[in-house]
């Protein structure tokens, strides 16, 4: 459904460090990094799309988070949601909702919400029941 998501940032180095750790936690690989622009993109290891991109705005003006705007990233399981949320906070992110079930979305929706160091709101979620022990 999606080709790519692009998040504008002002401090590319700090943001690249944050997203590198988050994407690694979610099993996504760096597709490219171009310091001349600057921007970078990650993808699933088994598909060329969708891409998740961060970089300075094309119009060279200051980036700012949109009110009501959020990107949700899919995690393989609930433990990955927990790890990604903890990593995001350790990398300078701010909690917007701890990991947990959100049954008002659906019975197996497990998600966590946070903001990156630039203030962009993100969610990491899983839509499947917990793995049996």
Whole-model pTM over 0.85:
yes
**What are the per-10-residue average pLDDT scores of the chain (133 residues)?**
90 97 96 96 93 93 89 95 97 97 94 96 94 60
Q: In the sheet where 110-115 sits, what is the strand order?
A: 71-74, 121-126, 110-115, 94-101
pLDDT score for 132:
59
Question: Residue 2 has what pLDDT?
Answer: 79
């Amino acid at each position: 459904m999606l080709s790519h998501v692009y998040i504008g940032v002002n401090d590319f180095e700090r943001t690249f460090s944050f997203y590198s750790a988050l994407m690694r936690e979610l099993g996504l690989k760096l597709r490219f990094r171009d310091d001349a622009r600057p921007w970078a993109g990650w993808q699933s290891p088994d598909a060329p799309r969708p891409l998740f991109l961060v970089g300075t705005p094309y119009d060279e003006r200051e980036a700012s988070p949109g009110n009501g705007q959020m990107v949700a990233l899919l995690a393989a399981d609930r433990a990955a949601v927990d790890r990604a949320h903890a990593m995001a906070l350790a990398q300078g992110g701010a909690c917007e909702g701890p990991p947990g079930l959100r049954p008002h979305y659906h019975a197996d929706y497990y998600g966590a919400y946070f903001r990156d160091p630039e203030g962009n709101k993100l969610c990491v979620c899983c839509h499947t029941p917990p793995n049996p022990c």
